[in-house]
Structure 1
């Protein structure tokens, strides 16, 4: 399955992404010069800090609680400055630089130019005629060999090239030699850190050619070649022992050479074949063919491809805001290229279970356990005065868990809770009790410790409430002034409700009975219920002050609809109130703050409400307005998230993939729903390999006259299925069970 750009698109620098879970690159084709923008899956600038939390923050927090309870939002805003975390050396992911491959020949106009990304094999290709010869170029990033490969081939021995490296990073060092390039970069920047801390990167380009290379000060020049291949690798000192710079470079170089020496001896064909097999194995686990919908089919696989290209079992870090790529935009604006925990990181990983890519979430789970939770214990103690752990709205490579440094995003202590729900989803889909017991449950239980103590009683209603906190990233208006901080935000309540429910279920699976289990059950029953406002909408706050932006891109108060299942169509009152929120956000639609991930949320909500026409309408809108020619879904500059340019975000693509899967199969609440949100335009199709909660795989073939379903299970069991108005319980035998539903 290919994504193809024609000649005109390529001239304007449209990029294709190649990646393998360790290294990534943006590959740009051109007539005179090809450019590879390199990025490494670490946050280069910034560093781990032991004092991210402000001294006296916990006292300020409880003072804010009293002030917001009294309705004195101005005083709470003033006090919040004593609560914020320290920005210090938070940092951001930075692009490494560019490798330029420039033709030094006199070139005629090209003809027949075509460039494409082969999703199944993970290879970017371009071909064209020039100077009377066929020129072919390929690039791919091999996970088995941890190397980016770029190859240029022509019919004749007449390519004259210059290969050079350029970087905007501090401390750049480049050495050209007849066999390639060695380069060093330091990641220092002052927008998100003080410019003194950051990781060090060493990179290597090995050149293989049948031409005649010569090293000069400005590059490696190659004459009379018919084939040139570049093997590119890089390594950083992320989490390594801190040494003097010269010793650090030497150590990194030695480590890189040890791992790269065998790869350097391999032929391109051998590396490419191992890469193709690796990529095909992941791609082919789930197939989709909806008749007359080639773009939908392609974008479904594009989201999967970008996820498993960004995140593998042995990746050092989970996928950040842009996966593993960097367009040099997000790192140069205020909101950074990092792990946002109020939607983006979560949406990155939503396809991991349902589209059969569970290993992609392994680095996320490792980062939670090893980085976020330890830092979160300090935040719980120092910023809230409580036991347990807590993660706020933003985080980075070192697990930053302290509150954000502005009232628009702080406090927001449920960011970590939302992130760990992916661990529960992994158990539900895999039924891996060992994972639940050893990896997920300790993290879940320690979060419960925090939030059990965090709750307090609302004196007016008698319910348990929480806060103060914000509803990301929205504001409300009191007496003409804008505020964000209040008690009883719907997002926070629904997150705590979900956490307590997960804990109860996990205890039952693991046969744990303790006082905390009973305590959380009692407290869950006393949580503030969903509230419906006078205009028939799910309330965003526990007050009726109007939102500052009625069509704000965030809809955090609807997360009980998706990804959770606290609101379902069976509860008609809440479902109707949720739909009313969506309608209001889109009225008028041209004023909706449209972004890739925000549009994904709307389509996912409609999929759960089983409104196929509306869900498809959101898909069509995304593919019309937010899709770049290269398959990337963008976050354009908006009034609430300004930028000097469009920003690529991984979550737009993965959100779309999740929605398509959700329209074809849903498995929450113990029921596997077949084609629950099928638009009439998708009248014929086939999907194979979807994974339902409960450890069941689902294949579906359908047209206007029939629906055939094949269930796969490792053990015999009974399941409940629903297709349209038909609901029944069936017996699955170990292996495969096929049924016809029409």
Structure 2
């Protein structure tokens, strides 16, 4: 840290600030989107739109966050683990893993969950008399969440401006013509649910009403029949296993006893100049200089446990109320409402990673394509802020949590149903929430987990005979907690602990004791209760999970046989250990002492410890099996290092070295979301250059939305390519960039822990750290030049940096006189502790110094 810390002083001012934004906050393109993965996403937490920007035929593909097929009563719950438990356990004990797996697949899996549905499309056909289009530019300004399309026809500049307002529940599109030309356009709505659609055009309003399937099936009938699962799908199979006549994988309304969620989409138009007329189910505006469209939508969804067909709400009065609330609002007023709401969240963080270059001025898809040449390092900051935008746009209180596609989907059968895969993907969506100062955006996720826990209590009792609550590998809007079908990975009764860890992290960041008592503790206790009933003793007397797997990996045994299930895989034990430890800590804080707590404490001490295998790697299973796929996209056994805090370079260097060995063996290639995960782990290993290598691999341009699951990267609109599109990679990489700059999981705030050489100069303001701290950093030539810590709560803080500092006592300045009773202290008689040379093999050195600071609530602490 070169002589930068001449002074550590306390400023007793509120921890509130605002910052100007970097100029590099714009995605832009020199041509319209021709495919969905080139379109730009808008979202207001309730509705999403993909904007294509074609001058002649504008297209907004529309989603509404609650719009799923199915019904809460439609699932398969007749799964009884107890019936076959002894037989499965005996097979696993006899190392007959494939035989146990066959029995589990036959008896312990359910049926496929329901499908997130596209709502429809808004089309604007613009008549430019076949004249040439010039000076085209399509862009999205992240700083204002505003998309723009601009082009010229002759001497007239046409501009389209698009935004989505959370407070007003609307999406707004404004068309303007600057010059002699006028706006002549016809606009209409459409939906893929055409068999149920009804359209109306009246006055200045378009309306579309429809219904999504009451039953949706991602599986083929051949897959179901091959598995012998016909009895799980009475909608399409007779009791004798024969297909019902006339069945389909999408059943609407009368085909399925009236089931299905209804929706209504409404567009109101205002125009300056010209005239409007009705044209069948469309409206036409002629010779206007300005046209403003206001869109909103609602569904009959009435909660996770109520049938939207029989207990649903009517979407029409919802839309009536929304439009009435804004009927006197001008376009400018709508935009200002949106802007004030959005910037209140977005402006909390400002970031610059290296300087912009000539390459930074290129269109966004070209910046992605060229990123690996190292000539545009600042692009990572744009991607980081884009991830924050996607969270603000897609996850707001009152809406649904981000699913695998966020909230943007154009497919009737989206990848993996467009649901929530809760063995990492749904959780990864929310890794950046606390770190990047968007805590409120987790509220829909928290609500969904609490709903899942209600069903999970029933599932724990009926399926296992256990107390507490359980969740498996998947979830949809109906919050079913049972395993889904066909994939062995579906039987994974461990999700409750991981989901609850997000509540715990909120508590660590906020320090809110009421949140701990009312929100965290009930969920955490329920997860712990289930695990207490699930654990068994192994041959060595350690407690392990009796049947588990390491998502979604297989192991090799008996001369290259492959299997999924075995007792006590490492990820199972990491989640149990974390849940038990945090439960005991919560009990201590809340003053709870009872027999159950004593039992948890005893069992914690008996859990199977982490083990290092024959390759020097952290073992993935209780037995040191070989990987079926050494470079598998999942590396779930590193849960203890990330997202948990059980393994770190400081506290457990030997295990950290074993985790590093896992990462070396997994390699640097992966699907898109997996590369986002790897960025975080390499950051926790304090290897910034390797973390940046994974970011570089993620920034490989992918042009087509393939389903091959090969060649992960980034689409032109910066969505993550698994492939196909999966949004968790965006959020994983955003969190990883934050972890490269500030870490606080290991009992200290570590500044610039994994700064790569390419980001040699920059700044970040507004990142959050556990303990109620907010961090601002500046650095130059790879060295920290300034750090400011804003204390929200007060308390003891340990700060670590990666360079030595010659600390001196505080000196008087005009603005900060010497305090005779300073509220900071060094841990060794006023001297900083210098810790370096903590080497282990080829591990990075954990060097630098730590300072213990006693912070005061509302204080600001600065290191220069």
TM range (shorter): over 0.9
Alignment correspondent of 1:340: 421
Shift of 1:50: 7.1
3-state DSSP of counterpart to 2:216:
coil
The answer as to 2:216 corresponding to 1:190 is yes
1:399-438 counterparts in 2 under 5 A?
A: 399-438=479-518
- Give the count of matched residue pairs: 718
Alignment correspondent of 2:707: none
Q: Unaligned 5+ residue runs, structure 1?
A: 637-645
Alignment correspondent of 1:640: none
1:322-341 counterparts in 2 under 5 A?
A: 322-328=405-411, 331-333=413-415, 335-341=416-422
1:620-659 counterparts in 2 under 5 A?
A: 620-625=696-701, 626-636=713-723, 646-647=724-725, 649-659=726-736
Alignment correspondent of 1:33: 57
Alignment correspondent of 1:258: 321
Shift of 1:516: 2.2
Alignment correspondent of 1:87: 111
Using the TM superposition, name which of 198-207 and 625-634 deviates more: 625-634
Alignment correspondent of 1:209: 271
The answer as to 2:663 corresponding to 1:600 is no
Equivalent pair of 1:58/1:83 in contact (CA under 8 Å): no
* 1:538 paired residue among 618, 623, 627: 618
The CA distance in 2 between the partners of 1:93 and 1:236, in whole Å, is 13
Q: C-alpha offsets along residues 665-708 of structure 1, whole Å, 9 cap, x if unaligned?
A: 11113211111111122222211111111111111122235532
**Change over 3 Å in CA distance of 1:291–1:509 after alignment to 2:** same
Shift of 1:152: 1.0
Equivalent pair of 2:743/2:749 in contact (CA under 8 Å): yes
Alignment correspondent of 2:7: none
Equivalent pair of 1:350/1:655 in contact (CA under 8 Å): yes
Shift of 1:627: 2.1
Alignment correspondent of 2:291: 228
Equivalent pair of 1:173/1:183 in contact (CA under 8 Å): yes
Shift of 1:514: 1.9
Alignment correspondent of 1:358: 439
The answer as to 2:337 corresponding to 1:274 is yes
Using the TM superposition, name which of 300-309 and 728-737 deviates more: 728-737
Alignment correspondent of 1:732: 855
The answer as to 2:384 corresponding to 1:300 is yes
The CA distance in 2 between the partners of 1:663 and 1:619, in whole Å, is 11
Shift of 1:232: 0.7
The answer as to 2:140 corresponding to 1:147 is no
Using the TM superposition, name which of 376-385 and 429-438 deviates more: 376-385
**Change over 3 Å in CA distance of 1:69–1:264 after alignment to 2:** farther
Alignment correspondent of 1:128: 151
Shift of 1:177: 2.2
Alignment correspondent of 2:745: 668
The CA distance in 1 between the partners of 2:800 and 2:32, in whole Å, is 45
Shift of 1:263: 1.8
* 1:446 paired residue among 523, 526, 538: 526
The CA distance in 1 between the partners of 2:442 and 2:716, in whole Å, is 28
**Change over 3 Å in CA distance of 1:51–1:45 after alignment to 2:** closer
Shift of 1:51: 5.6
Shift of 1:361: 1.0
Alignment correspondent of 2:4: none
Equivalent pair of 1:411/1:468 in contact (CA under 8 Å): no
Alignment correspondent of 2:92: 68
**Change over 3 Å in CA distance of 1:50–1:510 after alignment to 2:** farther
Alignment correspondent of 1:641: none
The answer as to 2:792 corresponding to 1:714 is yes
3-state DSSP of counterpart to 2:326:
helix
**Change over 3 Å in CA distance of 1:291–1:78 after alignment to 2:** closer
**Change over 3 Å in CA distance of 1:477–1:43 after alignment to 2:** farther
Alignment correspondent of 1:318: 401
Equivalent pair of 1:39/1:95 in contact (CA under 8 Å): yes
Alignment correspondent of 2:759: 682
Shift of 1:86: 3.0
Shift of 1:154: 0.8
TM-score in terms of structure 1 length: 0.93
Q: C-alpha offsets along residues 417-470 of structure 1, whole Å, 9 cap, x if unaligned?
A: 1111000000000001111101110110111111011100002x2111113122
**Change over 3 Å in CA distance of 1:233–1:61 after alignment to 2:** farther
Equivalent pair of 1:684/1:702 in contact (CA under 8 Å): yes
Q: Unaligned 5+ residue runs, structure 2?
A: 1-23, 219-232, 236-250, 356-376, 702-712, 803-847
* 2:197 paired residue among 165, 172, 182: 172
The CA distance in 2 between the partners of 1:107 and 1:531, in whole Å, is 70
TM-score in terms of structure 2 length: 0.80
The CA distance in 1 between the partners of 2:41 and 2:85, in whole Å, is 44
The CA distance in 2 between the partners of 1:463 and 1:213, in whole Å, is 76
Shift of 1:179: 1.2
Q: C-alpha offsets along residues 284-309 of structure 1, whole Å, 9 cap, x if unaligned?
A: 11111222243111111111110111
Q: Which has the larger radius of gyration?
A: 2
Q: C-alpha offsets along residues 138-161 of structure 1, whole Å, 9 cap, x if unaligned?
A: 111101100011111112462221
Alignment correspondent of 1:643: none
1:518-597 counterparts in 2 under 5 A?
A: 518-570=598-650, 571-586=652-667, 592=669, 594-597=670-673
Q: C-alpha offsets along residues 37-67 of structure 1, whole Å, 9 cap, x if unaligned?
A: 0001124102213763224333224432232
Equivalent pair of 1:52/1:400 in contact (CA under 8 Å): no
The CA distance in 2 between the partners of 1:714 and 1:6, in whole Å, is 41
The CA distance in 1 between the partners of 2:268 and 2:430, in whole Å, is 34
Alignment correspondent of 2:44: 20
The CA distance in 2 between the partners of 1:248 and 1:429, in whole Å, is 37
The CA distance in 2 between the partners of 1:493 and 1:52, in whole Å, is 29
3-state DSSP of counterpart to 1:318:
coil
Q: C-alpha offsets along residues 96-127 of structure 1, whole Å, 9 cap, x if unaligned?
A: 11111011341322111111111111111111
The CA distance in 2 between the partners of 1:43 and 1:60, in whole Å, is 37
The CA distance in 2 between the partners of 1:673 and 1:326, in whole Å, is 39
Alignment correspondent of 2:812: none
**Change over 3 Å in CA distance of 1:49–1:71 after alignment to 2:** farther
**Change over 3 Å in CA distance of 1:447–1:613 after alignment to 2:** same
The CA distance in 2 between the partners of 1:114 and 1:360, in whole Å, is 31
3-state DSSP of counterpart to 1:409:
helix
**Change over 3 Å in CA distance of 1:248–1:577 after alignment to 2:** closer
The CA distance in 2 between the partners of 1:698 and 1:349, in whole Å, is 20
Using the TM superposition, name which of 616-625 and 90-99 deviates more: 616-625
* 2:695 paired residue among 602, 619, 636: 619
Shift of 1:11: 4.8
